[in-house]
Structure 1
Amino acid sequence: MSTIIYTRTDEAPLLATYSLKPILEAFAGAAGIEVETRDISLAGRILAQFPDRLTEEQRQPDALAELGQLATTPEANIIKLPNISASVPQLKAAVAELQSQGYDLPDYPESPQTDEEREVRARYAKVMGSAVNPVLREGNSDRRAPDAVKNYARSRPHSMGEWSSDSRTRVATMGEDDFATNEKSVVVESEDTLRIVHVGEDGTETVLKESLPVTAGEVVDATFMDVQALRTFLAEQVRTAADEDVLFSLHLKATMMKVSDPIIFGHAVETFFTDVFERYGEALAAAGLSAKDGLGGILAGLDALGEQAPEVRAAVQERLERLPRLSMVNSDKGITNLHVPSDVIIDASMPAMIRNGGKLWGPTGEEDDTLAVIPDSSYAGVYQAVIEDCQANGAFDPTTMGSVPNVGLMAKKAEEYGSHDKTFEIAAPGTVRVVDGSGTVLMEHAVAAGDIWRACQTQDEPIRDWVKLAVSRARATGDPAVFWLDEARAHDANLIAKVTEYLQEHDTDGLDIRILSPVEATKLSVERLRAGQNTISVTGNVLRDYNTDLFPILEVGTSAKMLSVVPLMNGGGLFETGAGGSAPKHVQQLQSENYLRWDSLGEFLAIAESLRHLADRDDNPRARVLGNALDAATEKVLTEDRSPARRLGQIDNRGSHFYLALYWAQALAAQDEDAELAQRFAPVAEELSAKEQEIAAELLDVQGSPVDLGGYYHPDEDKAFAAMRPSATLNAVIDGLRG
């Protein structure tokens, strides 16, 4: 029996699963394929950490750890949907919801004082930020827009905001005293165990990390951000935005970079509201209100200040009414760019701004130019290069533009996304050292109290595999492959040496393979993009995230429509299904209007690749027939405009699933590779076609009324299934096929 592991995640992708997975189970069963679910949702991850506090019925296995082990085996076939990379406010909200449902979970200790509180916080730390992806990604990433998606975007282009050469939008970044400029990097010659220690000015040694195992050929980096320089920089940008009367917007990755970026976010909140924190900082701290949780968390907790609360609230409002204007997440609700750290994620927010003509939304709902503040300069130049191109040449044209697919280095927690357990907010001035097993100091930095220091690792085997995958994609497509590496950056210089060496292991005759700095690679890519040409971006882990949102949002309107394949290094397959940045808004709309706009196209594409992987691995030709027919059905969903529409009265996510099932059954009935399969699905196709109007009416009739899901992070199963499978007619056909 072949098996597909379908992940249960969060928000809109989770709700869509209640509708789509029964269809997948019914069709896959025809090829002897079982579809199993593993819960890696935020709620599931939280519950898995506290079995000692739960009843036997409430306990949940650690599915993420199980899948992490599976990903290292040839048997892995995992479909990974977008999940919440939780910020502290999201974690607290999920814990509160689970507590209200009867789960005996401890509160998240903001400032742990006892060993018990520190142990609780350590458990919660395991589920925050990028807890999922580094565990599952035991391979490198191949992400691209399928031809069907690209062709659809060209024939039905999405809206693009107009750019003006007079646009004042630009990126502001530090360029010194930040992670990029303070970076040091070494290549470890042999297997070893390193230590990270802090030596105070009085000689006191504090071990920050006792054991840091490394392998031969591994690239190890260390760097820090000077927090005083950061605060000076942020204050300068607040003044600049006020002087230029443009919106002030902050762009970070406070979810995936779950240790460093929330700290930076907190400094931004304190700097923007300097007068508020100068007057009330001690009172806020005493009430447990932290700038790291954002303005929203502070305002929500002001009642703890008693009589002083109205005074603080008025001070915040007075600051908001002065220049500069803050960009808004939701101006109608007064939610600012600094409200919640997880609301503004750079890889989604910057492309959206560029697509919108360089404009964001201000306090009164006005669109205006913005000063986009990206403190660390490692990759900020990429966005500035695209902005400058748009200011010079206008908006991109989806009907003619080329594509920028990506090959991303991400296996085995490569680069910054593996830095969380090696990131520290420095307690006292001194020196942080990385020391090898013999006591030799490999790297060191002089640091001050409050500085953010971190180390990263990139193993040699994933680098070699990354180069191999890049050459493979260049050979398969004939497109140039550009490694986005800057010889002036310490980490990149070491990677350039390895890339140059490992390229010699492959036949590159006739291939156009280059190494350019990220800024120069961006300029080349957008030039070719405008000429209708494709350029493969070969990048590290963070740029992989940035590029696989930036270019798809410009090319096809969304990153959710990308095909994302992760060939696992030990022979298995991980198939990812697009981005989930808009998932919270979709859930809110379902709850208020019983309408889910989430587009499951990414799931359709991933399922087809998963089926073909099973066909090859398990010698299951019927799985290939299913996969190819699914691709045909997916293309018909696009060409027939059966994707979720934008407003009530039209088909939503559930309607698109119905049409996928109809077109999939029709494709299987029409194919001539497997007569038995065609015979099995012919009556299904006929019945679904005959009952199309009845099913469509049942799906549309439920729209317009509020829906009770029994929870946001941990919905009630019965209520969620009822909401997402409202057509009794469709359910009868699908459940009959499932047997």
Structure 2
Amino acid sequence: MTHIIYTHTDEAPMLATASLLPIVNAFASNADIEVDVRDISLAGRIIAAMSDYLPEEQRAVDALAELGELTHHPEANIIKLPNISASLPQLLAAIKELQDQGYKLPNYPSSPQNTQEENIRARYDAVKGSAVNPVLREGNSDRRAPQAVKNYAKSHPHSMGEWDPTSKTSVATMRYGDFKSNEQSVVIKANDSISFIHVDDSGKESVLRADVPVLAGEVVDSTKMEARALDAFLAEQLRFAKKQGVLFSAHLKATMMKVSDPVIFGHVVRAFFPETFARYGEDLEAAGLLPSNGLGSIFAGLEDVPNGSKIKDSFETELKAGPALAMVNSNRGITNLHVPSDVIIDASMPAMIRNSGKMWGSDGEPADTLAVIPDSTYAGVYDVVVEDCKKNGAFDPATMGTVPNVGLMAQKAEEYGSHDKTFIIESDGVVEVRLSDGSVLMTQNVKVGDIFRGCQAKDAPIHDWVQLAVRRARISGMPAVFWLDPERAHDRVLRDKVETYLAEEDTNGLDIRIMSPIEATQFSVDRIRKGEDTISVTGNVLRDYLTDLFPIMELGTSAKMLSVVPLMAGGGLFETGAGGSAPKHVQQLVEQNYLRWDSLGEFLALAESLRQLARCNSNPRAQILADALDKATERILNENKSPSRKIGGLDNRGSHAWIAIWWADEISKQNEDAELAAIFAPFAGRFASAADDIERELIEAQGKAVDIGGYYHPDPEKLSEVMRPSTTLNAIIADLQQG
């Protein structure tokens, strides 16, 4: 029996799993494949982290740690669905829901008063942000649009807003004092450990982080975001937005960059309401109402503050006096500054570009926008695309090329592995990065409120990244461009390594280049407008940004990307697209019993997972299932059986029914394994005969509110009942499961 690990995650992907996984189990069981499930949802990780506070029947093993260990073994075969990278408000909401369900979890200590509370907070904080991906991604990233998906997008192009060449939309970023301009980078000469030490102006030393292991050849960076420079920049942009009459919007990554970006977000909130925080800042802080948690959290807590009504009036006054603020939901009054996890740069910027460079105002109308991206490291990428659209108009999905990505991310590479080395500076002085013998590698002068960040990128993942890029260039025949910035210290060091490792590869006949991100963006954009394809070879954050930016232009969504992580130990991690976890979809399901989440990414990942089993476990039936699933997926696209956006059509559950119908049909028609074909033939017949009844039952279930027993931690029985409403489909799947 061979094994696939299927992850139970959050929000829309978790809902979809309740419908799809029984189908997958039934098909896989007939090919001697067992599908195991591991709970790495936000709620599951909270329970695992705090199990010693719970009775035995409520405890859970640390499934994420188990999977992290498995990635170091060649038999690893993991299908990883999108999960919540929790901001603090999301973490608090999940804890509250679990407590209401009877889990006696301790409260999150916002201001720990003793060692026990410090321990509780540290354990909860370990669940925040990008806690999952760095553990599982023990390999580099290969993300691309499958040909069937790209062909469908060209023949059925999604809508794109028209760009006005006189558009006032623009991108603003810092010119000095940010992470890019302050970056330092070194290569470690021998296996050792490093420590991060703060030395204040009086000479007092404080250990920020001690004994971080480093390996020979590893790249280590240090940098800082200067609080004063950030505040000056934000004040300038607020004045500019007001003068230009455009919407003000901030674009950060407060989920993945769980230490630095919520703090930067808090600076934006303070900058927008300077008089309110000057007058009432101490009252808000005393009440635990922090700008880093957003306006929504502050407004919700003002009822318990003695002068809360006056503070709310002050906010409202400044909101009217300032520049128009971009909205997340105009109807509900949710602004760009309400929740730090509501506006995530890699999703919000492509959406703005696709929408003619406009975001939504408080009047519910689209308007030109000033997109404020404080750190300049990658802001230029979006600036190039915006300016190109002003000049040349919107991209045409029917003709445009594709930009797959090879991303450096293994072993917590670069910024997304920086959380345990990111600190808010409490007094003026310096931060030194020291080797174990006390010698100083790097020094950053710091002021109160500055954000210091240390990053690492190990040599083996960098070497593997270069090899993967060459391999993909050879297989695809596309040019491959390494996006490395000569103005950035880390990228200069990385370029030396890339050139060294490229010299070891056979690159004859391949077009492999190194360009700055701005040059590479323009090069790629020029090519996609001509229908030409270009591989982007990037670091970790750009991997994340580009695998939303270009797919949203090409396909209308990043959820349709094939995302493979060839693990360095030989196994495989198969991610189901880059589309996030779609919280709005959950709201629609609960209100209307309609889930518009598209599981195409799950279909694509499962097929690749099955191929891995066939290759590595000598299971020819896994290959048959994979090939048949690909054919069924093409039929889903060509026959328009993907979820529609409006109630009354097929939703996510309907697409699952059709994938089962056509998957069985394709298996029954294959010639490689007569016995397997004979097993599936009667089921293919039953599916075909019952297709109309199944579709009718699924559509009739729509249109009424449903109860799934929780948002972060639904009741399994209630969830199954909602997500599997077709008794006809369920009966066939149950019989198939029995063989």
AA of the residue aligned to 2:523: L
User: Quick check: 1:401–1:533 contact (8 Å CA) kept in 2?
Assistant: yes
Number of equivalent positions: 738
The answer as to 2:297 corresponding to 1:297 is yes
Asked whether the equivalents of residues 252 and 344 of structure 1 are also in contact (C-alpha less than 8 Å), the reply is yes
Give, as a single letter, the amino acid of the residue that structure 2 aligns with 1:568.
Answer: L
Match of 2:219 in 1: 219
User: What residue in structure 2 maps to residue 377 of structure 1?
Assistant: 376
The 5 Å alignment of 1:106-185 reads: 106-185=106-185
Deviation string for 1:261-310 (max 9, x for gaps)? 0000011101101111111111111111110100000000011213x111
Q: What are the equivalent positions in structure 2 for 1:360-399 lying under 5 Å apart?
A: 360-399=359-398
Corresponding residue of 1:412: 411
Secondary structure of the equivalent of 1:108? coil
Name stretches of at least 5 consecutive residues in structure 1 with no aligned partner: none
1:598 aligns with 2:607: no
User: How far, CA to CA, are the matches of 1:677 and 1:166 in structure 2?
Assistant: 62
SS of match in other structure, 1:321:
helix
Given the two structures, how large is their TM-score scaled by the length of structure 1? Answer: 0.99
* 1:83–1:580 contact (8 Å) kept in structure 2: no
Tell me, in whole angstroms, the C-alpha distance in 1 between the residues paired with 2:280 and 2:205.
35
2:626 counterpart letter in structure 1: G
Taking the aligned partners of 2:691 and 2:120, their CA distance within structure 1 comes to 52
Distance 1:97 1:174 in 2: 40
* Secondary structure in 1 matching 2:185: strand
2:491: which partner in 1?
492
State the Cα deviation string for residues 32-59 of structure 1 (Å, max 9, x = none): 0000000000000000011111011100
* Larger deviation, residues 536-545 vs 671-680: 671-680
CA contact (8 A) 2:272 2:322 kept: no
Structure 1 residue 24: deviation in Å? 0.4
Please say if residues 11 and 581 of structure 2, whose CA atoms lie closer than 8 Å, have aligned partners that are also in contact: no
Matches within 5 A, 1:658-697: 658-697=657-696
Match of 1:400? 399
Per-residue CA deviations over 1:334-383 (Å, capped at 9, x if unaligned) read 00000000000000000000011100000111111100000000000000
In the aligned structure 1, how far is the partner of 2:637 from the partner of 2:113? 55
Q: For residue 56 of structure 2, give the secondary structure of its aligned residue in structure 1.
A: coil
Q: Which residue of 2 aligns with 1:54?
A: 54
Q: Aligned equivalents of 2:414 and 2:197: distance in 1?
A: 20
Counterpart for residue 68 of structure 1: 68
Q: 1:183, 1:287 → 2: CA distance? A: 36
Q: Secondary structure at the match of 1:196?
A: strand
1:725 corresponds to? 724
- The amino acid across from 2:203 in the alignment is G
Q: How does 1:503-582 map to 2 (within 5 A)?
A: 503-581=502-580
C-alpha distance after superposition, 1:589-615 (max 9, x if no partner): 000000000000000000000000000
* Separation (CA, whole Å) in 1 of partners of 2:109 and 2:428: 26
SS of 2:441's partner is strand
Is the 2:373–2:379 Cα contact (8 Å) retained in structure 1?
yes
Q: Give me the whole-angstrom Cα distance separating, in 2, the residues matched to 1:488 and 1:583.
A: 36
What amino acid is aligned across from residue 180 of structure 1 in structure 2?
K
CA contact (8 A) 1:226 1:451 kept: yes
Percent identity over the alignment is 65
Structure 2 counterpart of 1:11, which letter? E
Give the SS at the match of 1:171.
Answer: strand
| Residue 339 of structure 1: aligned partner | 338
What secondary structure does 2:387 align onto? Answer: helix
Judge conservation of contact 1:13–1:580 (CA < 8 Å) in 2: no
- Contact kept, 8 Å, 1:219 with 1:460, in 2: the verdict is yes
Partner of 1:320: 319
5 Å-filtered alignment, 1:271-290, equals 271-290=271-290
Identify the residue that residue 31 of structure 1 maps to in structure 2. 31
Maintained 8 Å contact 2:611/2:626: yes
Aligned amino acid, residue 25 of structure 1: N
How far apart, CA to CA, are the structure 1 residues paired with 2:362 and 2:500?
A: 53
C-alpha distance in 1 between matches for 2:133 and 2:498: 24
Query: Which residue identity does 2:552 align to in structure 1?
Result: I
In structure 2, what is the Cα distance between the partners aligned to 1:114 and 1:224? 30
Secondary structure in structure 2 of the residue aligned to 1:185 = strand
The CA deviation at 1:323 is 3.4
Structure 1, residues 455-484: CA drift from partner, whole Å, max 9, x if none? 000000000000000000000011000000
Number of the residue aligned with 2:253? 253
Task: Please name the residue that 1:93 is paired with.
Answer: 93
**8 Å contact 2:134–2:412 — kept in the other structure?**
yes
SS in 1 for 2:104: coil
Distance 2:680 2:320 in 1: 63
**Which residue of structure 2 aligns with residue 473 of structure 1?**
472
Segments of structure 2 that go 5 or more residues without pairing to the other structure are none
CA distance in 1 between counterparts of 2:677 and 2:318 reads 67
What amino acid is aligned across from residue 68 of structure 1 in structure 2?
A: G
Cα deviation for residue 582 of structure 1 reads: 5.9
Q: Cα distance, 1:210 vs. partner?
A: 1.2
Contact 1:245 1:323 in 2 (8 A): no
Cα shift at 1:422? 0.3
Q: CA deviation at 1:117?
A: 1.4
Rounded to whole Å, the distance in 1 between the matches of 2:10 and 2:689 is: 35
Moved >4 Å (runs of 4+):
none
